Structure 1
Amino acid sequence: MDFSGASAIARSRVTDSAQRSSASRRSSSAMAHLPRSPRSIPRGDGQNYRCSARARMAIVGLTGGDAMSTATSAVPRLVTPQFVVLGAAGLAYFLAEGMLVPAVPRYVAGELTSGNIAVGLVVAAFSLSALVLRPWAGRLVDRRGRSIAMVGGGIIFAGSVAAYGVTDSIGALAALRLLTGVGDAFFFVGAITAMSDLAPPERRGEAISLFSLSLYAGLAVGPPIGEVLVNTAGFTTVWMVAAGSAGIGVLLALCVGETRAPSVETSAEAVGLIPRAAVVPALLLLALVWGMAGFLAFVPLYALDLGLPSAGFLLGGFAGIVVLIRSVGARIPDRLGAGRSVRISLLCATIGLLVMGGWRTVPGLVGGTVLLGVGVALGTPAIMMLALQRAPAAEHGAMMGTVSMSIDLAAGLGPASFGLVAAASGRGTGFLAAALLAGAGLALATLRAPRRP
């Protein structure tokens, strides 16, 4: 028998035992120095396990760290049934709004036999009341809840649109358009604030991006539907179908229910109508959307100036870039952070407008369109993220109401100012003027960026 081999095995077992004993003593010593205060580990059902430091070390030792890494790296869920129903409510509402885009001007010019000034006044009445009432809608949303604003606003919108067919004068139609704008102010602010309630803070940029797709889809599909209905069934049918679509949005909003957390309490103190924290985000959004509004209004004419037969592929490409980034790249603002995303978006918009106005060729127009599309796609979600980060949950409605005013202002003033500049110095110069405003927004975003220590 080979005793030397048995002796070697025995020595090996003694050595292994000694090593395990030493490791156990080191582990015990390390655990003894750990704090005994319990911490929470997330559970799959949204609750927390209370776990001491020793237990956490035991879990890590038994699983090689996998359990802890899984617990801490779990991504909060965003697309819940409630979030999907809210998006569907937005789609039904914005589809109704889209149907009115071609129908209202044609009704004024055709059925009411009025001219361009009347068309402009009736169309603008909607934006005017929506602009003025958004801050009031925000305060209602904070104090009374999101659901009442969406349901009430949707009912006002649907009722006023259904009454368009009984009007026989410009004054009566303009009054109803003002009422439609009131409904829009409350529904929109309620919906976007509800969306922010449903989104985990670290996924708000993604939530805003995805929710905005319902707006884009409604305003893309609604106008062709409105045109077909006008041509085949008449204006009364358009008003009824649009009112019905808005009514579906109201029913879906009822299904969503109230999203404001019960723990969110409004301040008993009097608060200004426009929160101070909302001013900078509102100015940033104004600088971004101003140039986009001018682009959408004048690029069809500018394309003809440069020898293109139409601007259809430019407008389609612009919309495609926005939809692509806000769907496939919806999480980009969350990963980059709100501040950095805002600066990148305004930089892209500024360079895009400068290229369009300075390099007055087809390649310049195409390249500028791409850059502007990237800027707009990133900018709106990031700016709204920034606004929500600057205010407590009790003021999210007021923040959204104030910031969204910029969209109405830019939609009206952007094309008007572009037209004035274009009339004096040409359409290319109009793009350069819009670039100056976007650049001012970039400067503001850079100056207000937090400084690193």
Structure 2
Amino acid sequence: MHVETRRPAIYNLNFFLLCTSYFLFFTSFNMIIPELPAYLTSLGGEDHKGLIISLFTLSAGLSRPFSGKLADRVGRIPVMVIGVVVCVGVSLLYPILTTVGGFLFLRFLHGFSTGFTPTGSSAYLADIIPFQKRGEAMGIQSLFGSLGMAAGPALGGYIGGIWGVEPLFYLSAAISFLSIAILSHLKETLQTREKPRWSHLKLSKSEIIETRVWAPSLILVFSVFSFGVVLTVIPDYSDHLGLENRGLFFAVFTISSLAIRVLAGRASDRFGRIPVLKAATLTMVVAMWVVAEAKSTSMLLVGAVLYGCSIGMNNPTITAWTVDLSLERFRGKALATMYIALEAGIGLGALVSGWIFANQAENFSAVFTASAATAGVAFLLLWFIPKTKDPHTPKKSQDVLG
């Protein structure tokens, strides 16, 4: 009993190496995001801002079934490495392909990085953490990812403002390379591994989607729609309201999510995934409404704090819920299915927000009101999810699981 609750046995060197690599990976590709709308405009592609995120998420979503299959067959670490290598290569190519078409092609290619690394990382974490600590561990891992999401845009906005976007691309590549160096020190956790072969890139229908995790995936589509909106529109909204650093909103909402992530993970371990997600989606509704009504930078940043709280509760809980419902031998496929839903929600948010915004300042409120409504749909759907779909519900509800 005491052995299971002693942290040194759970949070070991492998765990923290994984988290550090995760931090560097998220820092590397998030640091360029605040400067990309202005950079695309400088190339003559101001009408294609919605594609900056949607192309990225499209390729990430398309690659998920492959990363899930490879994670279950070849290993967790090779899948993580593939994603980071893509990050390094694409970051080095941004300063070379300086046409609108070349830039959009690289955004599509860049998405393969997040199609692979998070899938392998989450599967690796699920392998080394016991069931009763899963939510807490996912919270800690996502905290490191959030630190990267906070440090990246803030650092990127600073560097972009002083030295321009080209040094930013090179720094992004360097940070990705550090992530690979750390991964090389991890010990593989997949017990039965196959040698990579071309047949691993052939997918049957049953290898694309894991139907056991339909519930968290459905909620995720509606709850991350707002993230696609934020990534696409917030840089211009920040300019509109007079924020000099386009990355400040990203830094504030990410930092505000840090403290609540571990607490939310522990709460979901104790009280269930669904109750925590109800709180997360309701907070997201309020956050998007506050952002929609913002008339000053201070009100915008209040919305950022609330949004960070909702993200901090949502992300680790959804991931832990997905692992709960999956079979161990199909864990990679289950996580890939969840990430497909993630990319679908973000991509839709980016496309719809780009269409509604249409580079017209009077449309800002409508964009974020739509985000609030979409988060509201996620909140309502959670009331119809059967309790049997939440293995961490209190014991009275667990009785029906047998």
Partner of 1:165: 95
1:116 and 2:46 correspond: yes
Structure 1 contact 325–374 (Cα < 8 Å) conserved = yes
Partner of 1:437: 377
Q: Secondary structure at the match of 1:204?
A: helix
Structure 2 contact 69–207 (Cα < 8 Å) conserved = no
Partner of 1:195: 125
Q: Secondary structure at the match of 1:165?
A: coil
Q: Secondary structure at the match of 1:331?
A: helix
Aligned partner (choices 201, 222, 236) of residue 152 of structure 2? 222
Q: Deviations over 1:122-147 (max 9, x none)?
A: 55322221121112211111111111
- Deviation, 1:287, is 2.4
Partner of 2:335: 400
Partner of 1:27: none
Aligned partner (choices 171, 180, 186) of residue 116 of structure 2? 186
Partner of 2:324: 389
Query: Cα 1:415–1:245, aligned 2, differ >3 Å: closer, same or farther?
Result: closer
Q: Give the partner amino acid of 2:96.
A: V
Partner of 1:177: 107
How far apart in 2 are the matches of 1:361 and 1:104?
24
Partner of 2:18: 86
How far apart in 2 are the matches of 1:118 and 1:425?
20
Q: Deviations over 1:65-124 (max 9, x none)?
A: xxxx646765683321111111111111111112221343343333xx313124443553
Q: Which runs of 5+ in 1 are unaligned?
A: 1-68
Q: Give the partner amino acid of 1:129.
A: S
How far apart in 1 are the matches of 2:276 and 2:258?
17
Q: Give the partner amino acid of 1:254.
A: S
Query: Cα 1:341–1:136, aligned 2, differ >3 Å: closer, same or farther?
Result: same
How far apart in 2 are the matches of 1:386 and 1:348?
19
Q: How does 1:25-40 map to 2 (within 5 A)?
A: none
Structure 1 contact 90–249 (Cα < 8 Å) conserved = yes
Q: Percent identity?
A: 23
Query: Cα 1:435–1:178, aligned 2, differ >3 Å: closer, same or farther?
Result: closer
TM-score (structure 2 length as normaliser): 0.77
Structure 1 contact 357–431 (Cα < 8 Å) conserved = no
Q: Secondary structure at the match of 1:281?
A: helix
How far apart in 2 are the matches of 1:429 and 1:229?
32
Aligned partner (choices 374, 377, 383) of residue 312 of structure 2? 377
Which has more radius of gyration? 1
Greater RCO, CA 8 A, separation 6+: 2
Partner of 1:102: 34
How far apart in 1 are the matches of 2:235 and 2:159?
25
- Deviation, 1:434, is 2.5
Query: Cα 1:263–1:405, aligned 2, differ >3 Å: closer, same or farther?
Result: closer
Query: Cα 1:426–1:78, aligned 2, differ >3 Å: closer, same or farther?
Result: same
- Deviation, 1:277, is 0.9
Query: Cα 1:257–1:347, aligned 2, differ >3 Å: closer, same or farther?
Result: same
How far apart in 2 are the matches of 1:299 and 1:228?
17
Query: Cα 1:438–1:245, aligned 2, differ >3 Å: closer, same or farther?
Result: same
- Residue-pair matches, total: 377
Q: How does 1:25-64 map to 2 (within 5 A)?
A: none
Structure 1 contact 353–435 (Cα < 8 Å) conserved = no
Q: Which runs of 5+ in 2 are unaligned?
A: 195-199, 391-396
CA RMSD of aligned residues (A): 4.1
TM-score (structure 1 length as normaliser): 0.69
